[in-house]
C-alpha cells in the first residue's frame, strides 16, 4: 500500500557552446539559479513536460527526439516523495528569454565547472552527480 504523496518532475540541461542554461529566480521565489522544468501534469509524459515547461519558462522550442534522459533524482521527505527526471539537449529553437517574469528574472548560460554560487541546493547536488557520470541519486530529508 502506498501512502503519502508522489510528485513527478522533469528538468532540462540545455547545452549551447559548452554552457548550460540556468534561470535566475525573482527575489520572492528565492533569487537563486535553477534549471528549466517543473511538474509532469496528469496525462503528460516527462518529455512532453520538459517541452512545455521549456517554452513557457524560457521560449525554447524542443523536439522529443532531441531530449535524452541523463539523471534521475529520488527525493524523499516524511510525507512526500519526488521523482525528478533530468533530460539533456543540444538542439533547440526559439527566442530565449525568461518568460514567466513573476518567477524568473533572466536566463543565462554557465559552464558546468563555473556555476553561480547561488544555485539551488538540489540543482547543485544533481549537477555534481551528473558530472560524475551517476545516472541516479537520492536526497533524504526529514
List the one residue out of 5, 35, 31 whose CA is nearest residue 112: 35
CA angle 110, 100, 108 (to 5 degrees): 10
pLDDT digits (tens, 9 = 90+) for 32-65: 999 999 999 999 999 999 999 999 999 999 999 9
What pTM did the predictor assign?
0.94
Phi-psi region of 124 (alpha: psi -120 to 50; beta: other; left: phi over 0): alpha
- The distance from CA 54 to its chain's CA centroid, rounded to whole angstroms, is 9
Q: What's the confidence (pLDDT) of residue 4?
A: 63
Q: What's the confidence (pLDDT) of residue 1?
A: 42
The C-alpha torsion from 62 through 119 and 41 to 70, rounded to 10°, is 60
Q: Which of 4-8, 31-35, 37-41, 86-90 has the lowest mean pLDDT?
A: 4-8
In sequence order, the β-bridge partners of residue 140 are 76
Across the chain, mean pLDDT equals 94
pLDDT digits (tens, 9 = 90+) for 97-113: 999 999 999 999 999 99
Amino acid at each position: 500500500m502506498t501512502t503519502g504523496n508522489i510528485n513527478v518532475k522533469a528538468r532540462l540541461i540545455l547545452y549551447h557552446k559548452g554552457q548550460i542554461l540556468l534561470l535566475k529566480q525573482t527575489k520572492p521565489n528565492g533569487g537563486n539559479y535553477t534549471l528549466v522544468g517543473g511538474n509532469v501534469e496528469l496525462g503528460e509524459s516527462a518529455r512532453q513536460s520538459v517541452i512545455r515547461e521549456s517554452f513557457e519558462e524560457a521560449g525554447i522550442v524542443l523536439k522529443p527526439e532531441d531530449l535524452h534522459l541523463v539523471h534521475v533524482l529520488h527525493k524523499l521527505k516524511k510525507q512526500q516523495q519526488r521523482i525528478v527526471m533530468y533530460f539533456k539537449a543540444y538542439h533547440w529553437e526559439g527566442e530565449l528569454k525568461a518568460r514567466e517574469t513573476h518567477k524568473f528574472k533572466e536566463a543565462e548560460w554557465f559552464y558546468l565547472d563555473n556555476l553561480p554560487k547561488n544555485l539551488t541546493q538540489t540543482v547543485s547536488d544533481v549537477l555534481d552527480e551528473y558530472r560524475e557520470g551517476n545516472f541516479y541519486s537520492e536526497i533524504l530529508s526529514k
